[in-house]
């Protein structure tokens, strides 16, 4: 999570301290007094998930609070670059056009409740993904799928070979994969659960991000043997990038986060409405 703290006069505090605040108490999205019962004074904005990464990288790379503004749940700021055409913020719309080398950015800030819902959604999706990935070996997909089939006595048969279409071969393939049916049924249930959670994440966030499209594609692919291997490889890579970033001190930023937080990802994100997070 990334925080902005405000001074009593409403300006953003850049001292690195959080004066006038009680330790262990979260006070954000509001202006609070120094003493109980006072209005006005310090307060803060919290940023979580992709937005926290965007804001952290902005300031870590030398960004300043100059030109930073807040509008309907978003922090908005600009940077200079060499791009001729970029996304820029105009009212409630993200529009594309010639900005004269100025890139406009925005990041959503959230409350404790929205942060909690975001964490729950991420954890639930991660657990389903982990469960589905761990279930792949039990489905027999590595040995028996739509492209290859490891026979008992005649090596590996491939779909482009004549013997694949042999009636006897079809029968024995069916017999061999029967033992994997329980794991396949579990995999189907996990795929459906993943679809429900993906839809819920889109609904609660109010956004359709590139990672949503990727995960939807992986869910669709996982209904097949080869597709489930691809989906499992994506999950492992996604979480692996997160683990590497975590160990390097950049937080648990997954490959999905990297894609969503990139300039391309921000341009491709569809803003439907102001969601919970």
What is the residue range of 128's domain?
115-142+181-271
pTM: 0.62
Q: Are residues 82 and 9 in the same domain?
A: yes
- The closest alpha carbon to 190, from 227, 256, 136, 233, belongs to 136
For the beta carbon of residue 66, count every other beta carbon within 10 angstroms: 7
Of 108, 128, 154, the residue at which a domain comes to its end is 108
Q: What is residue 232's predicted lDDT score, i.e. its pLDDT?
A: 96
pLDDT digits (tens, 9 = 90+) for 227-249: 999 999 999 999 999 999 999 98
pLDDT at 266: 87
Return d(Cα 92, Cα 271) in angstroms, integer.
9
- Identify whether 164 is part of a domain: no
pLDDT confidence bin for 172, thresholds 50/70/90: confident
* Confidence band for 136, pLDDT divided at 50, 70 and 90: very high
Tens of pLDDT, residues 189-237: 999 999 999 999 999 989 999 999 999 999 999 999 999 999 999 999 9
Residue 36 lies in a domain: yes
Does 6 lie in the same domain as 90? yes
Q: How many residues comprise the chain?
A: 277
Is residue 7 domain-resident?
A: yes
Q: Residue 184: what are its φ and ψ, rounded to 5°?
A: -65, -40
CA–CA dist 57, 60 (Å, integer): 5
Asked whether residue 104 falls in the same domain as residue 138, the answer is no
Determine the longest span between alpha carbons in the chain, in angstroms.
84
| One domain for residues 214 and 127 | yes
Total domains in the fold of the chain: 2
Mean of the per-residue pLDDT values of the chain:
75
Any domain includes 174: no
Mean pLDDT, residues 126-154 taken together:
93
């Amino acid at each position: 999570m990334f925080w902005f703290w405000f001074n009593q006069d409403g300006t953003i505090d850049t001292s690195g301290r959080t004066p006038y605040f009680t330790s262990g108490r979260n006070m954000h999205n509001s202006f609070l007094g120094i003493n109980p019962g006072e209005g006005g004074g310090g307060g803060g904005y919290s940023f979580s998930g992709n937005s926290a990464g965007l804001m952290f990288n902005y300031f870590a790379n030398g960004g300043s609070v100059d030109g930073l503004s807040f509008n309907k749940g978003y922090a908005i700021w600009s940077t200079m670059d060499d791009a001729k055409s970029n996304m820029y913020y105009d009212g409630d719309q993200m529009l594309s056009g010639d900005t004269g080398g100025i890139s406009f950015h925005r990041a959503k800030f959230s409350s404790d409740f929205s942060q909690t819902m975001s964490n729950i959604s991420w954890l639930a999706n991660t657990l389903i993904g982990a469960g589905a990935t761990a279930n792949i070996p039990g489905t027999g997909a590595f040995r028996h799928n739509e492209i290859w089939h490891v026979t008992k006595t005649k090596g590996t048969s491939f779909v482009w070979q004549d013997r694949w279409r042999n009636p006897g071969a079809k029968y024995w393939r069916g017999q061999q994969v029967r033992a994997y049916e329980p794991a396949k049924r579990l995999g189907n249930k996990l795929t459906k659960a993943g679809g429900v959670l993906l839809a819920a994440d889109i609904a609660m966030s109010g956004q359709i991000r590139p990672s949503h499209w990727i995960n939807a594609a992986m869910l669709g692919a996982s209904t097949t043997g080869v597709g489930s291997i691809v989906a499992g490889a994506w999950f492992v890579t996604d979480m692996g990038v997160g683990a590497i970033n975590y160990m390097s001190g950049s937080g648990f930023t997954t490959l999905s986060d990297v894609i969503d937080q990139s300039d391309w990802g921000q341009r491709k994100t569809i803003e439907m409405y102001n969601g919970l997070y």
